[in-house]
Amino acid sequence: MNASVKLPRTARVLLVAAFWLGVWAFAAWRVGLSLLLPSPALVAKTLWGMLGTAVFYQTVGRSLLNVTAGILFAVAVGVLLAAVCRRVRFLRELILPLITVVKATPVASFIVLALIWVGAPRVPALITVLIVLPVVWTNVDEGLSKIDPQLREVAVVYRMPYWRRVRLLVFPSVRPYFLAACRTSLGLAWKAGIAAEIIARPRMSIGTAINDARQYLLTEEMFAWTFVVILLSLLIELGFTALFDRFGTGKGDPA
Amino acid sequence: MIKLDRVVFSYGEKRVLDGFSMTAQSGELLAVMGPSGCGKSTLLHLLAGLRAPQSGTLTVDERLPVYVFQEPRLFPWLTVTENILAVLPKGAPEDRIADSLALVGLSAEGSALPSSLSGGMKSRASLARALAYGAVVGSSLYLLDEPFSALDEPLRKSLCSALKDRFRASGATALLVTHDPDEAAAFADRVVRM
């Protein structure tokens, strides 16, 4: 007889969450100092209080705007640059070392430099660009290089017009690489953007709010904001996964 | 008309065509035969304009030759019908697609993706694409690189005969690359040995 009981997925997720909340509550009780480790109840109460203020939504909105602007710019420039580099090989050779250096440089170094170069308000967007652009460029460049040469010959032999080739051959060939780049870089960009805000402290942003809370030793507020960052990160990932499922796998793509 | 005069073509150090000459008159059906690697596909590539001879002269009267590749080369993300539409000029009559699918026996597979087709069906879909394209652009030259190799014997015979009839009716010139002497005899007026 099989003694194991199969719980529904939601119940299992709730059980796991309850377990870790319990661990957190126990640890907070053992420490006994909310300055070091606030309890889940205190963090939830603080978050609830924050949710009732207009400043909270302005702060979240501003951070989302910073990061989204950076992402959109990086995606557009990354795709365009990769397409141009395919045509102008010398430009690709020129850009490749720069991309490699940007990828290898620690984010914190860039944040400090960006603070000097562009000033605090623009740092989060610039950092997001530096995170997303190399990944998008590299993947789109690879996708373009992997276009099936046999299908290219079909397009040549049958005199397919330029834009039809782009639509029916280039886009579907590059799409999996592009979406993989987005998937990899979006979560990373959000976290790096918040890190940039913490260091650069632009006016009204989540990172600045976390930094302010640290300065005034409002640990429960730091936890509450961090919870908001995690939640938004999950929402961005979920949103993108939904988008990926909708547009990601074209008909006939290899599984 | 097709005319090749002392054409030379090499892939790097490997010379595949070494002073090759041949002529095909308009409306002639030719079978091209020879051992593997002797340059049969290269010959079709040259005639299709995919490569240029390194020396010698090549004259092809047809500006829009139709090429049936050895492999099906279908766009995997497009259905069979979409694969045909992809190569047709805008506004091409849709009955051409239905005609060509019917000729190769794939009328029911128009909405199927290549991944759901067998090897033989993919070859026939590729052939249907070429035939629809040829009919729409009014091409008078067909270059067929072993188009029946993935088909079983009865289908191979019936398709070979159907294509021959179609080319005869339209007065098109066709070059069929094949390893099968029976197929060459059934299809062609003349055999070019390489």
Query: Does residue A10 lie in a domain region?
Result: no
- For residue A254, pLDDT over 70 is answered with no
Average pLDDT over residues A233-252: 73
Number of domains chain A is built from: 1
Secondary structure of chain A in HEC code, one letter for each residue = CCCCCCCCHHHHHHHHHHHHHHHHHHHHHHHCCCCCCCCHHHHHHHHHHHHCCHHHHHHHHHHHHHHHHHHHHHHHHHHHHHHHHHHCHHHHHHHHHHHHHHHHCCHHHHHHHHHHHHCHHHHHHHHHHHHHHHHHHHHHHHHHHCCCHHHHHHHHHCCCCHHHHHHHHHHHHHHHHHHHHHHHHHHHHHHHHHHHHHHHCCCCCHHHHHHHHHHCCCHHHHHHHHHHHHHHHHHHHHHHHHHHHHHHCCCCCCC
Query: Does residue A57 lie in a domain region?
Result: yes
| Residues of chain B with C-beta less than 8 angstroms from the C-beta of A255 | none
How close is the nearest chain B Cα to the Cα of A187, in Å? 29
- For residue A15, pLDDT over 90 is answered with yes
Q: Which of B48, B64, B75 sits opposite A151 (nearest CB)?
A: B75
pLDDT on residue A7? 79
pLDDT on residue A242? 81
Measured CA to CA in angstroms, residue B30 lies from A107, B162, B180 at distances of: 66, 16, 13
Query: Does residue A3 lie in a domain region?
Result: no
Query: Does residue A209 lie in a domain region?
Result: yes
pLDDT on residue A243? 76
> Measured between CB atoms, does B138 come within 8 Å of chain A?
no
Give the pairing of strands B29-33 and B55-60: unpaired
Q: Which of B48, B64, B75 sits opposite A169 (nearest CB)?
A: B75
How close is the nearest chain B Cα to the Cα of A158, in Å? 6
Query: Does residue A136 lie in a domain region?
Result: yes
pLDDT on residue B153? 86
| Residues of chain A with C-beta less than 8 angstroms from the C-beta of B133 | 158
Q: Average pLDDT of chain A?
A: 89
| Residues of chain B with C-beta less than 8 angstroms from the C-beta of A151 | 73, 75
How close is the nearest chain B Cα to the Cα of A173, in Å? 9
- For residue A114, pLDDT over 60 is answered with yes
Give the pairing of strands B2-11 and B14-24: antiparallel
pLDDT on residue A248? 54
- Confidence band, pLDDT 50/70/90 cuts, at residue A255: very low
Q: Which of A153, A157, A253 sits opposite B77 (nearest CB)?
A: A253
In chain A, what percentage of residues exceed pLDDT 90?
66
Q: What is the pLDDT of residues A151-184, one digit of tens each?
A: 999 999 999 999 999 999 999 999 999 988 988 8
- Confidence band, pLDDT 50/70/90 cuts, at residue A251: low
pLDDT on residue A62? 92
Q: Which residue has the higher pLDDT, B78 or A3?
A: B78
pLDDT on residue A5? 67
pLDDT on residue A152? 95
Query: Does residue A43 lie in a domain region?
Result: yes
Average pLDDT over residues A218-238: 91
- Confidence band, pLDDT 50/70/90 cuts, at residue A247: low
Query: Which of A152, A154, A168, A251 best probes binding to B when mutated, by most B CB atoms within 10 angstroms?
Result: A154
| Residues of chain B with C-beta less than 8 angstroms from the C-beta of A159 | 64
In terms of residue numbers, what domain contains A80? 39-248
Average pLDDT over residues B6-17: 91
Contact flag B113-A252 (C-beta cutoff 8 Å): yes
Q: What is the pLDDT of residues B133-172, one digit of tens each?
A: 999 999 999 999 998 888 888 889 999 999 999 999 999 9
- For residue A37, pLDDT over 90 is answered with yes
Nearest CA in chain A to B132: A158
Query: Does residue A14 lie in a domain region?
Result: no
Query: Does residue A9 lie in a domain region?
Result: no
Collapsing DSSP to helix, strand or coil, B86 comes out as helix
What CATH number is associated with residue A55?
A: 1.10.3720.10
pLDDT on residue B98? 92
- For residue A69, pLDDT over 60 is answered with yes
Query: Which of B46, B87, B88, B139 best probes binding to A when mutated, by most A CB atoms within 10 angstroms?
Result: B87
Cα B67 to Cα A157: distance, rounded to the nearest angstrom: 7
Average pLDDT over residues A235-252: 71
Contact flag B76-A164 (C-beta cutoff 8 Å): no
Q: What is the pLDDT of residues A78-101, one digit of tens each?
A: 999 999 999 998 999 999 999 999
